[in-house]
Amino acid sequence: MTGDIAILGYGLSAIGPGVGIGLIFAAYVAGVARQPETRGVLQTIAILGFVLCEQLAIFGIALAFVFSGQ
């Protein structure tokens, strides 16, 4: 079996942020459904949480290039 283990590592590391972002936006949608007038406040918090979670995914893809067998 040949190939690059960096890609395997990236695939595994993308599970965490995927689950995290799903949880964040599930909470956002539920919050807006309960109280539509808090949409603006919750949007800021949701974007903040999304960005922090996406950061790990970005580390993953950037390092996959760095470590890809060079």
2 vs 36, beta carbon nearer another protein: 2
Which positions from 10 through 69 interact with another protein, judged by CB under 8 A? 40, 44, 47-48, 51, 54-55, 58-59, 61-62, 65, 68
DSSP codes, 11-57: HHHTHHHHHHHHHHHHHHHHHHHH-GGGHHHHHHHHHHHHHHHHHHH
Give the sign of the dihedral formed by CA 21, CA 46, CA 64, CA 9.
Answer: negative
| Least gap, CB of 19 to another protein (angstroms) | 19
19 vs 62, beta carbon nearer another protein: 62
Q: How many residues bind another protein (CB under 8 A)?
A: 13
